[in-house]
Homo-oligomer: A and B are copies of this chain.
Amino acid sequence: MPKYRFNNDYSEGAHPRILEVMTQTNLNQEEGYGNDSLSQQAERLLKAAIGNPGATVHFVSSGTQANLIVLASLLKPYESAIAAVTGHIFVHEAGAIEATGHKVNVVNTPDGKLTADLVRQVVAQHTDEHMVKPRAVYISNSTELGTVYTRADLESLARVCREKNLVLFLDGARLGAALTSAASDLTLPELAKLVDVFYIGGTKNGALLGEAIVINQPALQTDFRYHIKQRGGLLAKGSLLGAQFVALFSDDLYFELARHANATAQTLAGGLKALGHSFLADPVSNLIFPILPNALIRFLEDRYDFHVWCPMDEGRSAIRLVTSWATPADKVNEFLDAAKTWSERGS
């Protein structure tokens, strides 16, 4: 029997209500390439949820695709994007951004969050045409370390971006988990007002695939479909993406799923804290990074699938545990029981 997987939030397929909309609309004849009625309905729902009727919305297949298309659309050849050293575009996209011709300027941050000061430092270091010219600021919310941006964080980044003529682009592959985190004081419309471009991730929050790119700034909206097409991101049956976002943004499903993911992760975090373990970064969303004794990690690895993130000291490492809309409460409890058992029997 396979081990239960806590290693990501995309191990299962789609939430049943998403499959339902797909199935119900399956045999309708629709216009191709995203001009179908479901994509249009999804766009309306999203614009209402965001509170910006002037935004444009485009659906693409994956986070890497969203990132490379957005950045390729934003940047002139010599312009670059600023990102945290943990940023998905810097580490985990096989050089996708560079393949579109652009450098990623990277800064170290302890918690995966960019700050206005870090952005200012990068801009200050790039003074003339012998260097690239930073133009976009890339942040992930929640971050790759599971942390989230507060309103004050975003306001401060938005301010430095206006000041330095930078575009603020938010990777929301896990935006649901971010906005429903107890550590977040932001609503979707509030967040949307503070960024120029962002996307709302479907894949990691219950969809089969699909990220909804939202472009707030009219100047950045021009000809965006050309960019999608050129990078191979325009699906012939675009209604596949539209249908899923119709389901996600009906009856609050999107945030309901995210709340479940967060809640199960919080149960895990609480249980591990109670056992005396600390964390690599504040465990506030559905990605948590407990620091555990290596022997306990080996014990748990025999029973569960998860990533060992990095060694911390002689005897301990941080691991990454991820929950999702599909994580059952009993698996979380079993995991905690296993950890407790190991602790009680004196390691």
Which residues of A come within 8 Å of B, CB atoms?
Answer: 2, 4-5, 8, 10-14, 16, 19, 22-23, 25-33, 60-69, 72-73, 76-78, 80, 91-96, 98-104, 129-133, 203-204, 208-209, 223, 225-237, 239-240, 326
Cβ-closest 7 pairs across A and B: A65-B232, A13-B26, A78-B226, A10-B236, A94-B229, A94-B230, A95-B132
- Dominant SS among interface residues on chain A: loop
Alpha-carbon gap, A133 to B222, bound state (A): 12
Inter-subunit contact B12/A129 (CB<8 Å): no
**Which residues from B are CB-within-8-Å of A23?**
19, 23
Contact of A232 among B8, B64, B236, B240 (CB under 8 A): B64
Inter-subunit contact B93/A102 (CB<8 Å): no
Inter-subunit contact B25/A204 (CB<8 Å): no
* Identical subunits present: 4
Beyond contacts A78-B95, A91-B130: 9 other A-B pairs, Cβ-Cβ < 8 A, are A13-B28, A64-B229, A67-B232, A93-B230, A96-B230, A99-B100, A101-B101, A129-B229, A208-B240
**Which residues from B are CB-within-8-Å of A76?**
223
**Which residues from B are CB-within-8-Å of A101?**
95, 98-101
**Which residues from B are CB-within-8-Å of A130?**
33, 91-94, 229
**Which residues from B are CB-within-8-Å of A19?**
22-23, 26
Task: Give min CB distance, A122 to chain B, whole Å.
Answer: 12
Inter-subunit contact A237/B203 (CB<8 Å): yes
Q: Give the nearest-CB partner of A72 in chain B.
A: B77
Q: Give the nearest-CB partner of A26 in chain B.
A: B13
Beyond A65-B233, A77-B230, A240-B209, whether A12 also contacts B26 by CB under 8 A is: yes
Inter-subunit contact A13/B22 (CB<8 Å): yes
Task: Give min CB distance, A331 to chain B, whole Å.
Answer: 10
Inter-subunit contact A230/B78 (CB<8 Å): yes
